[in-house]
Structure formats: structure tokens, C-alpha cells
Amino acid sequence: MINERYIVKKILGEGRSKVFLCDDIDFPEKDVALKVLPSKVPEEEINIFRKEYFTLQKLEHSNIINAIELGTIVSDSSPEQNVEIGSKYITMEVFEGKELLNFKGCKNENTLKSILIQICSVLYYLHQSNYIYYDLKPENILVAEKDGQPVIKLIDFGFARHIIDDKIPGITGTMQYIAPELLKKEAYDQRIDLYSLGMLLYRIIYDTFPFKTDNELKILKAQIENEFEFPESNFSDEFLNIVKKLLVKNPAERYQSCLEVLSDLNVKFNNEITNQWMPAKVSSDRKDTAAILKKYLEDVKSSEVFSVRGTEGAGKSTVVEEIYSTVPVSIIIKNNNNLSGTTFLKFIVKQIIYNEYVYSRLNKVTIEKVEHLFKELPENLIDELKIIFTNIASSCRFTIILDDINKYDLFTYDTLITLIPILQVNKIKVILTEDPDEGDVSNKVHNLQTINLSPLTDQQLELLINRSLHSSFPKKEIKNLILLYADLLPGGIRTSIKDMLLLNILKYDKDGVRLNEDEEAIELLKSSQDEIYKIRLKDITDTENKLIKIISALDVTIGANALSILMDISVLDTDKLLLDLQKKEILKQYTITGTAQFSSDGLKSYIYSLIEANEEYHLKLAVNIESTLPDFNKNELARQYELAKEDEKCYSILIEVAEEAENISAFSYEKQILEHLLTLELNEDKFNLIKYKLAIL
């Protein structure tokens, strides 16, 4: 087992990196693909690998592979897999496709058209978000057949660059696919990816390149000077004309964007395709916040804790993700609703322990103590954690980021509040993010400094739009609409752009994107968010409606396996439903975590408001959960019974939770459970028992 977490099942592929199919014991709902970079590679290659991870974290398109976590292999109890200690890894979604050239259907024109449409959709998404991919070739496109249709995933984003935020490289890519203007070191733009696309198609059609040499200098000369020949083939003239235009030497005479290619493929620019083109995430220009945190991180003597505060959409997570991507020894813990209690705590300890820097500085006794903790919880868990955290914090210096800490489950939150002083005393840097609507940690953490995130200024908004959208967009008009109808928090701005796509206010055609001044659509943009939610939900099926109501009624995330049981349908059917809901912008990227989460809290609340006869619904859901899911979160099951006004049943579950807390010395957590029980309608004997337990705590 790798890092006491990943169990290797088989190897999926091997090239510059090895890719393994693994069980993730912390998130068993879905397998993961573990992409492993050998330990003995140049520093530049490690930087490219890290860059790929942080680039993928900003991208969201159904045809782009999803990255989950970045780490280093520091422990491996299954050496037969020949994985080197010290190797960097990225965990990714599993997509068991074949490289494009090895996909048997790619010689069929209709199948290749379907593949080409998906490639163009991805490339346009990247280009409109100010990215250049640089290394488009068949090896970086995986294809699988699903429901009789080809589905692609673009992989290997090590060379991809944001043309505003990133340093633009010199000649980059694979020589056979590099555009002439890049080889000539002339000014270039996203059209270099279109040339690579043309070369990729030529290779598929003719089983060869248009130059008969492996010599790089001769290839370079051919790319710049040769007019390529297009012999007879099994493909139509219409399709070959697309390839010819992609391979024009002069970029001014080439296709100007993928919109033109899609138009020549007779693709309609409806919501099914344009919903995929929500611009990639960029960091908002909060230089003041960054400067404060940078100064804090550089002060080795400071024992402060910093809290970045803001409501949903304020950009808290983006701020700390930037820190995580730039601060060498940093660990980020994200709110994970599908983990709670001792399971979440063990996950947090793993994230700290199996950090490369931390693990290398711990003694054998501490590591053994932690690994024993993973196998069997001691009765004095909190005391054991204090010892472990003291040993870790006194052995090394690092930064820990607790994102959305006041959305963690109560037990995890209380335990971390108890452990933070140990980190402070040892000068470990602690950064929290919190939503003031969910509570306040300021009265619980000593020496806490708070940074409140406010709406963006006019200048910050303009910078955000410029970095988010390509120069071909009507940015001035988009900015004016945002100023009129959005809250000027980064999340609100993204929601506003998403609504413009949904309402076809942003209109695409072969010539580009323009603003549609349709009065009815503008009125809808001005109206309440509920009206927009109605439009987003108008095409869902009855089965999808049943599924999202279950998800909306829960305060914890839930995976496909559990949902399939509650819905009484197969896991495959549930998986398809969840992916369809993701494409409709109702759920977040389901493929990353294997759990179902709404695209926004507001949408979740709206769907929940559509449930009629709430008490009856919660009772049926609670009974279904209790009878079919024995390992379901007990606190959430109790909450379902409480919402159904079944207080006695809620009591029977929570009193058991309180006893479990007492057994591991989590007395603060036990107290909060007991105090909550006093709010229920219970008989006198139960009230007296609760009061007695509180009195002796």
C-alpha cells in the first residue's frame, strides 16, 4: 500500500510517467489513477509535473482529465509494483481509454468527426480562457467507447500555459506537430494548436506524416517550407478541406478559432456545447491579502493564526490555493462532507504525516504511533493526537491550511481547535478560511488575525475579466452587465457569466462570441436567481429530479453506490445520471471525488424548497437509509429523524454517538451532542439522564 492509502491494482500505462489503477481506501466510492513521476528526474521535469497539477485544478470541461491530489510517495508496503520512494504523484480520475491512434473507430469518418468535435470543444474552452495547450498529439488524447459513441479525454497538461499569468516558453511541443510560426520564433497565438490538430488528423487519415523523415532539422524545414500533399483517401473532400485549412502555413489564412472548425462540421452552438465553455478559474487580484499572508509566512517567530474570512463566493479557497501552489512546504485540508468524525481526523493526520518534508523528519516511534492510530482508535484518542501533533510540530516547520474550517463536522472542528495551540507554540504556520455565516472561530483561537475579503474594486473586476476571457470577447459589455447585476465577489461574477451562457446572452457563431441584447434574457438576468434555477432544471428527467431531491435533503455528500441503493437502481445507471447532471451544470465535477455535490449552495436550497410534505419525506428517507445503509453517517441519520419530528428516534441515535465520543475522550464533542439533545421533545427520564451526563462531564 502506498502512503497507507493507495492499493495498486494494475498498471494502466507507461511513458514519461507510470499510471496505476488504485483503490483509495479513504474514498472507496471510486478508484483513482495514480500518475507517478520517477524519483530521479531533473528539477525542471518535477516543476512541469507540479505545473500540470495546478493547471488541471483550474480547468473544468468534461473532456479534460480531472486531477485530485498532488503528493510524494514516502511509504510503500507493496514493492513488487516497482514504485520508487521519493516519486511525485498526481491522483486523477480513472479513464480507461486508448490512445487516439489505437482506437479502432478513428478511421471511420463519422467517428472521427465526433472525436474532432470534442477536441475542438476542449481547445476552444482552453483558448477562450487564455490557455495554449502546445502539445496536441494522438498520445495525449484518450478515447473510450460509451453507449456506442466515442468519448475523449485530453491528458498531459505539463506544457499548457496561461498567456497572461504564465511565462510563455520558447519552442515547445513535439517536433512533428509544431506550427511554422513557433519554429520560426515569430509572434504566435492559440492558432498553433490548430496547426497541431491538422497534423494529428493528417496522421490518422494517411497513417504517416506529410514528411518522410525522422530527422528533426529536416522536419523543421518541411514544417516551414513544404506544401503538403493530400493523396486519395477514404475521407470526403469536405473533411479533407478542414484538414488542409488547419495546416496552412500562414496563421492569418488558417482557421482563426475552433468555432470556425465546429461551424464547418455543422455543429449547432446550443447550450449542450456552450455550457462547457464556462471560463477556467483564475485567481482574483487580491494583492493586499497576498502581501499580508506572505509577510506572516516569512516571520519565523510569529505564533499567530491567520483567518481569511468571506461569504460563499468571496474567493477564500482561491487565495489559499495560490499559497499552496507557491509555498514549498504547505499542506491543504479541504472541507470534505463525505468524511466526518474520526475518519476525517485520520485523513487529516495522513495528509500531514505523508507530506514528503514532514515524513523525512519524523522518528520511527512517531510514525509507528500514527500508523497504529490508523488501524485501531485508542480510548484516549484526543490525548494521543496531542502527543502526535507535539512530536510532528517539534520536528519540522510547515504551513497548514484548513479550508472552510467552520464547515467541518463538529467533532473534527472541535478536535482541531484543541490541537491548533500545539502548532502555534511550535511556530507552525496555520491559515484558516471561514464563512462568517457558518460561525466564528475568533473566540476559540488565541492570537488570531483576520483578513476579511470584500467585493472586488472596478480595477480588480477588469483584471479578472481580462485574465478570464480571450481578447475576442466583448469584455466591456460583459463588465457593464456584471456591474449592474452581480455582487462583485469572484463567485458571483462567475455565476453571472454562467447565467449569460445559460440565457444565451453570450452568443457564439463561427465568427466568435458577441453579446445578445435580447430584452427577455436581460430581464431574466436581472430577476431573482430562482428564475434562473428554473431554467437550469427545466430539462431534467423525473429520475434525475428524484435523485437531486435526495441529495438536497442531505447535509453530507453521498456517492454513487449509496445513491443507487436509495434509488433502487444500478450503480451504472446512477453513475450516468450523475454525469448527466454534471453536464447540465447542476452538480460539481462528480468524477473528481465520486460524490454528488451541487454546483452552488443556492441551487441546493432551491431544489430542497421544491420538496413537498417535508416531514413525511425526511421520515421515508431516514427509514430507507437506516434499513439499507448500515455504515451511513449517524449524525446525519439522526438529523433526518429530527426533521421528520421523530425526536425519540433521533435521541436513540445521538445518545449512542455521545457514548462513542466519551469512549475516545472527546468530551467537548460529547457535551455539544448532549446539549443538542436537550432541545428535543423527550420524556422526563431521558431529560434527566442527559442532564446527569452533562453534570459529570
Assess whether pLDDT exceeds 80 at residue 338: no
Assess whether pLDDT exceeds 60 at residue 414: yes
User: Bridge partners of 88?
Assistant: 37, 72
Do 582 and 620 share a domain, yes or no? yes
Question: Closest Cα to residue 689, out of 679, 680, 642, 678?
Answer: 678
3-state class (DSSP) for residue 488: coil
Q: Are 512 and 257 in contact (CB under 8 A)?
A: yes
Q: Are 127 and 161 in contact (CB under 8 A)?
A: no
The three state secondary structure string of 409-463 is CHHHHHHHHHHHHHHHHCCCEEEEEECHHHCCCCCCCCCEEEEECCCCCHHHHHH
Q: For residue 282, tell me if it sits in a domain.
A: no
Cα gap 610→492, rounded to integer Å: 23
Q: Mean pLDDT of all residues in the chain?
A: 92
Assess whether pLDDT exceeds 80 at residue 102: yes
Do 649 and 511 share a domain, yes or no? no
Q: From the CB of residue 61, how many other CB atoms can be counted at a distance below 10 Å?
A: 21
Q: For residue 536, tell me if it sits in a domain.
A: no
Residues present in the chain in total: 697
Residue 238 CB burial class (10 angstroms; 0-12, 13-18, ≥19)? exposed
Assess whether pLDDT exceeds 70 at residue 591: no
Q: For residue 300, tell me if it sits in a domain.
A: yes
Q: Are 132 and 193 in contact (CB under 8 A)?
A: yes
Assess whether pLDDT exceeds 80 at residue 593: no
Of 395, 426, 452, the residue that ends a domain is 452
Please spell the DSSP secondary structure of 501-544, one letter per residue: HHTT-EEEETTEEEE---HHHHHHHHS-HHHHHHHHHTT--HHH
The pLDDT value recorded for residue 79 is 66
Do 652 and 559 share a domain, yes or no? yes
Would you state the cell numbers that stand for residue 57, as one nine-digit string?
Answer: 485544478
Do 319 and 400 share a domain, yes or no? yes
Assess whether pLDDT exceeds 90 at residue 189: yes
Cα gap 243→47, rounded to integer Å: 35
CATH classification at residue 598: 1.10.10
Q: Are 9 and 31 in contact (CB under 8 A)?
A: yes
Q: What are phi and psi of 658, to 5 degrees?
A: -65, -40
Q: What are phi and psi of 10, to 5 degrees?
A: -170, 165
Q: Are 525 and 481 in contact (CB under 8 A)?
A: yes
412-434 per-residue burial string, b: 16 or more CB within 10 A, e: under 16: bbbbbebbbbbbbebebbbbbbb
The pLDDT value recorded for residue 648 is 95
Cα gap 358→398, rounded to integer Å: 8
- Quick one: DSSP state of residue 632? S
pLDDT band for position 172 (cuts 50, 70, 90): confident
State the average pLDDT over residues 404-409.
91
State the average pLDDT over residues 553-561.
90
The pLDDT value recorded for residue 289 is 93
Assess whether pLDDT exceeds 60 at residue 508: yes
Cα gap 435→314, rounded to integer Å: 9
First to last CA, the chain: 40
CATH classification at residue 318: 3.40.50.300
3-state class (DSSP) for residue 35: strand
State the average pLDDT over residues 409-434.
95
Q: For residue 535, tell me if it sits in a domain.
A: no
pLDDT band for position 184 (cuts 50, 70, 90): very high
Q: From the CB of residue 29, how many other CB atoms can be counted at a distance below 10 Å?
A: 17
Q: Provide the residue type at 687 as one letter.
A: F
Assess whether pLDDT exceeds 90 at residue 544: yes
Do 234 and 319 share a domain, yes or no? no
How many alpha carbons fall within 13 Å on the CB side of residue 580? 15
Task: Tell me the per-residue pLDDT of 199-258, one tens digit each, with 9 for 90 and over.
Answer: 999 999 999 999 988 898 999 999 999 889 999 999 999 999 999 999 999 999 999 999
CATH classification at residue 61: 3.30.200.20
Do 508 and 556 share a domain, yes or no? no
Assess whether pLDDT exceeds 70 at residue 81: no
Q: For residue 244, tell me if it sits in a domain.
A: yes
Do 35 and 131 share a domain, yes or no? no
Q: For residue 533, tell me if it sits in a domain.
A: no
Of 46, 72, 92, the residue that ends a domain is 92
Do 389 and 466 share a domain, yes or no? no
Assess whether pLDDT exceeds 80 at residue 564: yes
Assess whether pLDDT exceeds 60 at residue 388: yes
What percent of the chain has a predicted confidence (pLDDT) above 90? 74
Give every CB contact of residue 294 below 8 A, 6+ residues apart in sequence.
none
Domain count, the chain: 5
Cα gap 657→634, rounded to integer Å: 7
The pLDDT value recorded for residue 592 is 56
The pLDDT value recorded for residue 446 is 92
Name the residue range of residue 218's domain. Answer: 98-277
Cα gap 350→342, rounded to integer Å: 12
Q: For residue 229, tell me if it sits in a domain.
A: yes
Q: For residue 522, tell me if it sits in a domain.
A: yes
3-state class (DSSP) for residue 162: strand
Strand 506-509 versus strand 512-515 pairing type: antiparallel
The pLDDT value recorded for residue 589 is 66
Question: Closest Cα to residue 164, out of 198, 194, 134, 130?
Answer: 130
State the average pLDDT over residues 375-382.
87
Task: Tell me the per-residue pLDDT of 264-291, one tens digit each, with 9 for 90 and over.
Answer: 999 999 988 998 999 999 988 888 999 9
Would you state the cell numbers that stand for residue 479, as one nine-digit string?
Answer: 463588465
Task: Tell me the per-residue pLDDT of 294-326, one tens digit each, with 9 for 90 and over.
Answer: 999 999 999 999 999 998 889 999 999 999 999
The pLDDT value recorded for residue 179 is 95
The pLDDT value recorded for residue 95 is 93
Please spell the DSSP secondary structure of 543-612, one letter per residue: HHHHHHHHHHH-SS-EEHHHHHHHHTS-HHHHHHHHHHHHHTTSB--HHHHSEE-BS-HHHHHHHHHT-S
Of 218, 242, 277, the residue that ends a domain is 277
Do 88 and 174 share a domain, yes or no? no
Q: Any alpha helices (H) in 299-452, and if so which ranges?
A: 316-326, 341-353, 356-359, 364-375, 381-395, 410-425
Which helix H or strand E contains 496, and what residues bound it?
helix 490-502
Q: Are 567 and 574 in contact (CB under 8 A)?
A: yes
Assess whether pLDDT exceeds 70 at residue 590: no
Residue 195 CB burial class (10 angstroms; 0-12, 13-18, ≥19)? buried
Assess whether pLDDT exceeds 80 at residue 337: no
Do 352 and 255 share a domain, yes or no? no
Would you state the cell numbers that stand for residue 1, as one nine-digit string?
Answer: 500500500
Do 244 and 103 share a domain, yes or no? yes
Do 332 and 351 share a domain, yes or no? yes
CATH classification at residue 186: 1.10.510.10
Assess whether pLDDT exceeds 80 at residue 63: yes
